[in-house]
Amino acid sequence: MARLFGTDGVRGLANRDVTAELALRLGTAAAHELGSARHETRRRSRAVVGRDPRASGEFLAAGVTAGLASAGVDVIDLGVLPTPALAHLVTELDCDLGVMISASHNPMPDNGIKFFQRGGLKLDDAVEDRIEAWLDQPWDLPTGAAVGRVRVDNGSAVDKYVQHLIGSVGTTFDYRPLDGLRIAVDAANGAASVVGPEALRAAGADVVVMNASPDGRNINEKAGSTHPEQLQAVVVAAIADFGVAFDGDADRCLAVDHTGALVDGDKILGILAKSLKTKGALPDDTLVVTVMSNLGLLLAMRDEGINTVQTAVGDRYVLEEMRAHGYGIGGEQSGHIILAEHATTGDGVLTALHLAAEVKRSGKKLADLAGSIQRLPQTLVNVRGVDKARVDSDEGLASAVAAAEALLGDTGRVLLRASGTEPMVRVMVEAATQQQADGVADSLAATVRERLAL
């Protein structure tokens, strides 16, 4: 039987894969696994539940809430808010767990359920496995006064989150650090449709807002970080200093400079890491990235005296590395960026604020800041129908990879990754020129087909 939890919670087609029944059972199971922290204080456990604006989120949040309350957990229903807001409020509201109903950047028909433990942290695999095991274990539910109570928040909790965001860039009653900046915001008709523009305005920016009218069906629809084309046009037309694009649950942020050019997560990471180093606030002068970050970022950081540590793909693995060694910043090319001083997960609005603050502090255009990080040409070839299990053990393939790496030298990189869900191997090559990247990738893909044939 396949594992229920994926790389970021439980996700699938709403009402088919992710059902109200599953939400109820997961809520009850999570209460049993995560809701015991209050026992020594003789106070009931407490949880926060939030969602993005998808229509299916309404019944899924109700299901999770019912499961938690039936297991004796008091629930605060936060309504629609970004995933990082929920993670922050787990701690801010002194809760034992949080549950976010969202499928992030996925299309509207999908939805997901992801959990945060005390401290606002995502769960590791072992905890997820224990929750999954509880789904099939009967246990006694409370009755009478011992059942959990449900309270709908009046918006004050989200206000606390906004104050946390703007405070992170030094906003006060008489100081607004983004005064004079004009920023276009694409909210993806998602969870940050109100919070994103509100936070940037509170910090002093003149905000041009787009795709901030969620109706339950239009989340991520040709909008946000997965579809930046509209933002690129609006930034130029509105003569904005730059633009930012969130995804459906606002845990990622991409940017667009004043010319309409895309500034991806790698470049944002490089800009913010350099800024922290300049301020003497970059622990161990280290940036944490994944193996999919472009070599151009690694080379640019080396030139700035900044070390880079690479992890497996996934912001949870980035955070694990950061927490293990006390690093301050890490993230992914997709725009998941973690600023450890202020957040326990990727936060798109937080990223936008700090990027804007660096533009203002430096007195430079975003295009100039991003221009110091040159993206190397990259080619990705998906080789399907092969034995992916042998990708790391086949000697002939290893020899071909070594030869390719020797050919590319310090100006290129090779990465072979087995797909987690298909009989497929991904061949990624970066090189000094697109022609060289294409040639090496095609050659390695042919070797993969030959050596790993089923």
Q: Is 188 left (phi over 0), alpha (psi -120 to 50) or beta?
A: left
Render the burial of 97-121: b for 16+ CB within 10 Å, e for the rest.
Answer: bbbbbbbbbbebebbbbbbbbbebb
Write out the two tokens for 182: 């004009």
CB 243 within 8 A of CB 256: yes
Q: How many CA atoms lie within 13 A of 108 on its CB side?
A: 17
CB 251 within 8 A of CB 223: no
State the pLDDT at residue 36: 62
**Number of neighbours of residue 182 by Cβ within 10 angstroms:** 17
Position 12 scores a pLDDT of 95
61 secondary structure, DSSP code: H
Which regions of 278-326 does DSSP assign to beta strands (E)?
286-290, 307-311
Q: Are the CB atoms for 329 and 340 separated by under 8 Å?
A: yes
Burial category of 372 from C-beta neighbours within 10 Å (exposed 0-12, middle 13-18, buried 19 and up):
middle
Q: Provide the pLDDT for residue 39.
A: 47
Please give the pLDDT value at position 95.
96
Question: What's residue 66's pLDDT?
Answer: 98
Q: Which residues are catalytic?
A: 104
- Would you call 152 helix, strand, or coil by DSSP? strand
**Which phi and psi angles does 78 have, rounded to 5°?**
-90, -10
Pick from 422, 425, 421, 401: nearest CA to 413: 401
Give the Cα separation of 322 and 125 in Å (integer).
17
Angular region, 249: left φ>0, alpha ψ -120 to 50, beta rest: alpha
- Mapping DSSP onto H, E and C, the string for 78-112 reads EEECCHHHHHHHHHHCCCCEEEEECCCCCCCCEEE
Task: Please name the amino acid found at residue 298.
Answer: L
DSSP labels, 376-428: PPEEEEEEESB-GGGTTT-HHHHHHHHHHHHHHGGG-EEEEEE-SSSSEEEEE
Q: Is 304 exposed, middle or buried (0-12, 13-18, 19+ CB in 10 A)?
A: middle
pLDDT of residue 137: 86
* Residue 86: exposure state from Cβ atoms within 10 A (0-12, 13-18, ≥19): buried
- Which segments of the chain have a pLDDT < 70? 1, 36-42, 421
- Closest-CA residue to 291 (of 442, 132, 115, 414): 414
Residue 22: CB partners within 8 Å, gap ≥ 6? 10, 63, 113
- Long-range (24+ apart) CB contacts under 8 A made by 139-147 are 139/32, 141/28, 141/70, 141/71, 141/72, 142/71, 142/72, 146/72, 147/69, 147/70, 147/72
Count of positions (residues) in the chain: 454
